[in-house]
Structure 1
Amino acid sequence: MGRVVLVTGVANPFASVAARRLAEIGEAGDISRVIGIDTVVPPGDLGGTKFVRADIRTPVIGKVLAVEHVDTVVHLDVNPHRTRTGGSGSKELNVIGTMQLLAACQRSSTVAKFVLGSSSAVYGTSPRDPAMWKESMLARGGVRSGFPKDIVEVESYVRGFARRRPDVIITTLRASQILDPAMRSPLGDYFAAPVLPSSLGFDPRLQFLHLEDALAVLTESVLEDRPGTFNLCADGVVLLSQAARRLGRPVIPLPPLGLAIAARRVIRAAGADVPPDLHRLLTYGRVLDNAALREIFGYEPMYTSAEVFEQFRQQIRPGILASFGGTA
Structure 2
Amino acid sequence: MGKVVLVTGVARRLGDRFAAELSRCPGVDRVVGVDAREPAGEAGYVFHRLDLRRPTVARVIAEHEVDTVVHLDVSAVGPGGRAAVKERNVIGTMQLLGACQKAPGVRRLVVKSTTGVYGSAPRDPAVLGERMLPKNLPRGGFAKDATEAEGYVRGFARRRPDCAVTVLRFANILGPAGDTPLGEYFALPVLPTVLGHDPRLQFVHEDDVIEVLRIAAQEDRPGTFNVAGEGVLLLSQCARRLGRPTVPLPAPALGVVAALARQTRIADISPEQLQLLTHGRVVDTTALRSAFDGLPRRSTAETFAEFAAAQRSGLLPPERLTAVTDRLTGLLPTDHTHHLPRS
TM-score normalised by the chain length of structure 1: 0.92
**Kept after mapping to 2: 8 A contact 1:194/1:249:** yes
Q: Indicate the residue corresponding to 2:122 in structure 1.
A: 127
| Matching residue of 1:67 | 63
CA distance in 1, matches of 2:207, 2:181: 19
Aligned residue among 127, 150, 154 for 2:145: 150
Alpha-carbon distance between aligned partners in 2 of 1:227 and 1:92, rounded to the nearest angstrom: 27
Distance 1:173 1:310 in 2: 24
Matched position secondary structure for 1:81? coil
Within-5 A mapping of 1:1-328: 1-25=1-25, 28=26, 30-43=27-40, 45-82=41-78, 85-86=81-82, 88-141=83-136, 143-266=138-261, 271-319=266-314
Unmatched runs of 5 consecutive residues or more in structure 1: 321-328
Q: Which amino acid aligns with 2:32?
A: I
Bigger Cα Rg: 2
Partner Cα distance (2:90, 2:79) in 1: 12
**Aligned residue identity for 1:309:** F
Q: CA deviation at 1:81?
A: 1.3
Q: Which AA in structure 1 matches 2:61?
A: L
Instruction: Note closer, same or farther for the CA distance 1:80–1:270 as it changes in structure 2 (3 Å cut).
Output: closer
Q: Which amino acid aligns with 1:48?
A: G
Asked if 1 retains the 8 angstrom alpha-carbon contact of 2:212 and 2:296, the reply is: no
The whole-number CA distance in structure 2 between the counterparts of 1:100 and 1:314 is 41
**Partner SS, residue 137 of structure 1:** coil
**Total equivalences in the alignment:** 315
Q: Partner amino acid for 2:7?
A: V
SS of residue in 2 equivalent to 1:114: strand
CA distance in 1, matches of 2:251, 2:292: 38
Q: Find the residue that maps to 1:24 and give its secondary structure.
A: coil
Cα displacement (A) at 1:141: 2.6
- Partner of 2:177, secondary structure, is coil
Checking the alignment, whether the CA contact within 8 Å between 1:95 and 1:153 is kept in structure 2 is yes
Equivalent AA in structure 1 for residue 291 of structure 2: I
Higher RCO (C-alpha under 8 Å, 6+ residues apart): 1
Change (3 A) 1:155 1:83: farther
Deviation at 1:303, TM superposition (A): 0.7
Partner of 1:324: none
Shift of 1:84: 8.3
RMSD over aligned Cα atoms: 1.7
Displacement of 1:272 after TM fit?
A: 3.4
Using structure 2 for the length normalisation, give the TM-score. 0.88
1:206–1:285 CA contact under 8 A, matched in 2:
yes
Deviates more, 1:209-218 or 1:297-306: 297-306
Q: Distance between the aligned counterparts of 1:68 and 1:18, measured in 2?
A: 19
Residues 181, 188 of structure 1: 8 Å contact kept: no
Counterparts of 2:218 and 2:4, CA distance in 1: 11
Task: Give 1:39's aligned amino acid.
Answer: A
CA separation of 1:208 and 1:225: change in aligned 2, threshold 3 A: same
Q: Percent identity?
A: 50
